[in-house]
């Protein structure tokens, strides 16, 4: 009975949102040029302790470029639950020529002491956003380069099967706890990819979750982001593995992964991962600024106000306060932050009418 009610609630939320969109057809044309609308995430937002230093470190390590620099508007900070005494400056990094997979670094001032959101966390411990995946042409070269810049891996590169794909992967944690998952496609061959940087823009952002059912309700039912690919099987082969799991216990562990992407593409994807057979800490609280690290994903939709209104009081997560503010380089945005049951923030935004 409870599951039936939850499905009806999810359907009702989407019907309300669609009805509001139908009443405002002019909004369909009000989208930032080139930015993916209901087609994967546009950017991730990372709280850092020193903006100048991190911009220099990230651009040197990845080959990304600084695309914009400025102040964070007070209305945005208020939506993050920060007091008026706090200010912030930010820099947007990414690959030139694309509006996907950008990384926004934010330095807060006057917010007091901060700690890492996922302090000393292992990839299989749940809560918040765990990191991003980036593509590389040569994982050994990329891995060694990041190690020289001070990044630390949970393992050396390993071969990995995610049917129908075979890949080589490694995850490394860097400044302020930001995790990069390196992904080299082995088979089938990756075609049509422009290697404009040594390390590509983020193509997937991932969250390790405590409850798969709640995560599916949040991403699929509430946010309406369909599943592109799923995996439910062994956590990893015996021996060294991507997630830092005990080598001799992996046969008794399982891993459940859902890759969500509204348009079904293989980038701009949000992945939720759950592990069974291993117990660790949860980082579902304190997963927001002023604490440091990846805390939010920005997702452009046709009408954020309609989405936020439809989900108010109806999501398995939590709708935080909405805002209207200038966010460079996009312009004036309407948005609201929706928090998942595991403390992962999604900033649902669209261009505000003028």
Q: What is the pLDDT of residue 31?
A: 52
Q: Quick check: is 95 in a domain? A: yes
Cis peptide leading into 286, omega within 30 of 0? no
Q: Which two tokens stand for residue 177?
A: 């706890």
Q: Quick check: is 182 in a domain? A: yes
Best CA proximity match to 127, nearest among 321, 281, 239, 313: 281
Q: What is the pLDDT of residue 43?
A: 98
Q: How far apart are CA 300 and CA 313, in angstroms?
A: 21
CATH code of residue 132: 3.10.180.10
Q: What angle do CA 200, 117, 213 make, to 5 degrees?
A: 80
Q: Are strands 345-351 and 293-300 parallel, antiparallel or unpaired?
A: parallel
Q: Quick check: is 250 in a domain? A: yes
Q: What is the pLDDT of residue 27?
A: 39
Q: Quick check: is 323 in a domain? A: no
Alpha helical stretches, state H, 113-161: 139-148
pLDDT tens string for the chain (354 positions)?
444 434 444 444 443 343 333 333 333 334 567 789 999 999 999 999 999 999 999 999 999 999 999 999 999 999 999 999 999 999 999 988 889 999 999 999 999 888 999 999 999 999 999 999 999 999 999 999 999 999 999 999 998 777 788 999 999 999 999 999 999 999 998 887 776 778 999 999 999 999 999 999 999 999 999 999 999 999 988 899 999 999 988 989 999 999 999 999 889 999 999 999 999 999 999 899 999 999 999 999 999 999 999 999 999 999 998 999 999 999 999 999 999 999 999 999 999 987
Q: How far apart are CA 41 and CA 341, in angstroms?
A: 19
Range of the domain at 60: 42-300
Q: How far apart are CA 190 and CA 144, in angstroms?
A: 22
Q: How far apart are CA 283 and CA 117, in angstroms?
A: 7
Asked if 310 and 66 count as a contact pair (C-beta separation under 8 A), the reply is: no
- How far, in whole angstroms, is CA 170 from its chain's centroid? 18
Q: Quick check: is 97 in a domain? A: yes
Q: What is the pLDDT of residue 321?
A: 83
For the chain, the domain total comes to 1
Q: How far apart are CA 88 and CA 325, in angstroms?
A: 14
Residues in contact with 255: Cβ distance below 8 Å, sequence separation at least 6, in sequence order: 231, 232, 233, 234, 235, 236, 273, 274, 275, 276
Q: Which two tokens stand for residue 337?
A: 């932050």
Q: Quick check: is 241 in a domain? A: yes
Q: What is the pLDDT of residue 189?
A: 84
CA dihedral 262, 265, 268, 272 (to 10 degrees): 70
Q: Quick check: is 293 in a domain? A: yes
Q: How far apart are CA 35 and CA 9, in angstroms?
A: 30
Q: Which two tokens stand for residue 328?
A: 């460079």
Q: Which two tokens stand for residue 61?
A: 């390590």
Burial of 153: CB neighbours in 10 Å, binned 0-12, 13-18, 19+: middle
φ/ψ bin of 232: left (φ > 0), alpha (ψ from -120 to 50), beta (otherwise): beta
Asked if 299 and 346 count as a contact pair (C-beta separation under 8 A), the reply is: yes
Q: How far apart are CA 79 and CA 106, in angstroms?
A: 15
Q: Which two tokens stand for residue 224?
A: 């309406």
Q: Quick check: is 344 in a domain? A: no
Alpha helical stretches, state H, the chain: 2-22, 51-62, 74-79, 139-148, 212-216, 304-311
């Amino acid at each position: 009975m409870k599951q039936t009610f939850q499905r009806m609630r999810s359907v009702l939320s989407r019907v309300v949102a669609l009805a509001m969109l139908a009443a405002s057809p002019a909004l369909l044309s009000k989208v930032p040029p080139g930015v993916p609308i209901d087609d994967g995430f546009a950017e991730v937002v990372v709280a850092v302790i020193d903006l100048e230093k991190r911009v220099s470190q990230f651009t040197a390590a990845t080959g990304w470029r600084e695309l914009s620099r400025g102040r964070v508007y007070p209305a945005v900070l208020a939506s993050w639950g920060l007091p008026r005494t706090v200010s912030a400056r930010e820099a947007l990094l990414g690959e030139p020529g694309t509006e996907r997979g950008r990384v926004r670094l934010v330095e807060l001032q006057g917010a007091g002491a901060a700690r890492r959101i996922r302090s000393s966390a292992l990839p299989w411990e749940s809560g918040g956003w765990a990191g991003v995946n980036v593509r590389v042409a040569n994982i050994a070269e990329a891995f060694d380069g990041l190690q020289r810049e001070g990044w630390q891996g949970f393992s050396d590169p390993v071969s990995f099967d995610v049917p129908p794909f075979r890949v080589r992967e490694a995850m490394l944690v860097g400044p302020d706890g930001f995790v990069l998952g390196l992904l080299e496609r082995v088979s089938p061959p990756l075609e049509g990819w422009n290697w404009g940087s040594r390390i590509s823009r983020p193509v997937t952002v991932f969250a390790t979750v405590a409850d798969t059912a709640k995560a599916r309700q949040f991403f699929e039912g509430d946010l309406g982001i369909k599943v592109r690919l799923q995996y439910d099987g062994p956590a990893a082969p015996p021996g060294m593995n991507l997630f830092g799991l005990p080598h001799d216990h992996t046969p008794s562990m399982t891993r459940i992964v859902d890759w969500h992407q509204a348009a079904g593409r293989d980038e701009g994807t949000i992945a939720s991962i759950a592990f069974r057979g291993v117990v660790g800490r949860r980082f579902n609280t304190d997963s927001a600024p002023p604490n440091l690290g990846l805390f939010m994903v920005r997702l452009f939709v046709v009408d954020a106000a309609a989405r936020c209104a439809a989900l108010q009081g109806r999501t398995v997560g939590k709708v935080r306060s909405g805002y209207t503010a200038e966010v460079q380089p996009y312009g004036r945005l309407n948005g609201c932050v929706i928090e998942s049951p595991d403390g992962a923030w999604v900033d649902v935004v669209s261009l505000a009418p003028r």
